[in-house]
Each structure stands twice: as C-alpha cells, then as structure tokens.
Amino acid sequence: QLPTGLYKKVLVILHDSILPYMNEPTLMIDFLTVAYGIGGAISLLALNGLFILIHQHNLEYPDFFKKLYSLLDPSIYHVKYRARFFHLADLFLSSSHLPAYLVAAFIKRLSRLALTAPPEALLMVIPFICNLFRRHPACKVLVHRPNGPEGMSEDPYIMEEEEPSESRALESSLWEIQSLQNHYHPDVAKAAAVLNQSLSEIEDDISGLLELSGYELFDKEVKKKAVDVPLEFEQVRGLFGKKNDIFAEHFTLD
C-alpha cells in the first residue's frame, strides 16, 4: 500500500523510467493491475504501464475494456491527465478486431458526457469519436439510424450499466452530438456538424488537440480581427426612423 501522492509519482514515470530498465517487466503486473483497479487518477496513470505490458509482454487482462469503460465519468474532461488518457484510449481502441457493441458503448458514453464538457475538451473528443467511426463502420448506425432520435420515445442506452455489452448502445442514436451542433461556441458547433456529412477515410490527427486549453481558445478569439458590421443602412429621420412621419416634423435627433 502506497500513499496516493507517491502512487501518482511512481506511475507517472513507470512506463519510461522504470519498465525499460527491468530484466523482467512482468514483475510489475500485480502492482499495475491493483493500481488500475483503484479508480480515479491512479487508474488513468496506470494505463501507460499496462499498455506496455499488454503490447510488448503478452499480458492478458480479460476485464481491461470493462474497467476502461468505467473510467469514463464527467471528470474525464477536466482532469489534469486528460491528454494522457485520450492518447492511450485512442491506441487501445485502434484495433479493427474489437466488437461493434464495445466501440459503440465508448462512443455513446463519451457523447453523453460531452454534454457537460468544456469547449476545449469538445474540440478534442468530437474528432476522436469521428475516428472511431472511421475504424469501425458498423457503429455508423448510431448516426444513420432511420428517423434518428425523433423516432425514439426514449433513449434505450443505459448510462448506469457497467458492462458495455449490456448498455444497449448499438440500439441508440447520437442525439448528443446533434445537440452540440447548437453549441454556443461556433468551433464546437462546426466540429459537431461534420457528422451530418459522409466522413472521409483519412483519420483526423488529434495529437495537437489533446493539450488544448481554455486559455488558448480565449486567446485565439481575442486575436481575431474585428469585422465592422453595419448596424443601420438608412439614416434615421425622426423619432421612429420614418421619413414622412408626423414625429419627424416636430422632433429631431441631434
């Protein structure tokens, strides 16, 4: 048992400063699987080490994706390690052999949580979801379902279900992304509108969006050149702006 602070410090450097120098990296399996089961930020940080053990040392973790799915909660768009998590989630969900129900569950849960996410996170997760559709065309039924959300009396997706296969995500539709098309931030609305068109085969590069911050978005808006918008095309005459008006005879705007 380690204090939470020490757990985080060890897990942050484990994948590049410890595992490469061990003769038997598999000795860390128990440590990492226990850390992965703790939850919260510690689970997120354990993903790096587990990724190395799974891809390079043949670690089999039957409930890995179930646990990864359970890590998706509202805080995932706000935590300090958001970029690290989505970078690894992108790698884990890159295999074309994953079942459609599993990928659909991730897409649906990410979309539902996106309803309360900040703009900088939305500009990252919407291309992330589009990439999942490109890799797994069977999931496009969520976008192209006949009648869409209008044809449903209620969303069959079960948000509280911990088992992705039981969440009924494939029976649902992405009304959440449709809602984001009316987002107050124009860049988010534009990004969400991409799903209204047929997606290109080339995946979006999200590496530059993982570290996007609210400050950068604000700074970008501030630096935009202001466009002079004409507010009145006809010079006002009279109190109510009409030329031949009784008020124009007796009142002037000086």
The per-residue pLDDT for range 28-58, each reduced to its tens digit, is 888 888 888 887 778 888 888 888 888 888 8
* Whether residue 101 has pLDDT greater than 80: yes
Cβ pair 15, 49 in contact under 8 A: yes
The closest alpha carbon to 196, from 183, 208, 180, 210, belongs to: 180
Query: Quick one: pLDDT at residue 30?
Result: 87
* Whether residue 167 has pLDDT greater than 60: yes
Q: Amino acid identity, residue 247? A: F
Query: Quick one: pLDDT at residue 125?
Result: 92
pTM for the full model? 0.76
Query: Quick one: pLDDT at residue 128?
Result: 92
* Whether residue 238 has pLDDT greater than 60: no
Contacting residues for 56 by C-beta, under 8 A, at least 6 apart: 25
Query: Quick one: pLDDT at residue 244?
Result: 65
pLDDT band, very low/low/confident/very high, at 205 (cuts 50, 70, 90): confident
pLDDT, average across residues 147-154: 64
Angle at 169 between CA 67 and CA 40, to 5 degrees: 25
Highest-pLDDT range among 118-127, 144-153, 209-218? 118-127
pLDDT, average across residues 228-234: 67
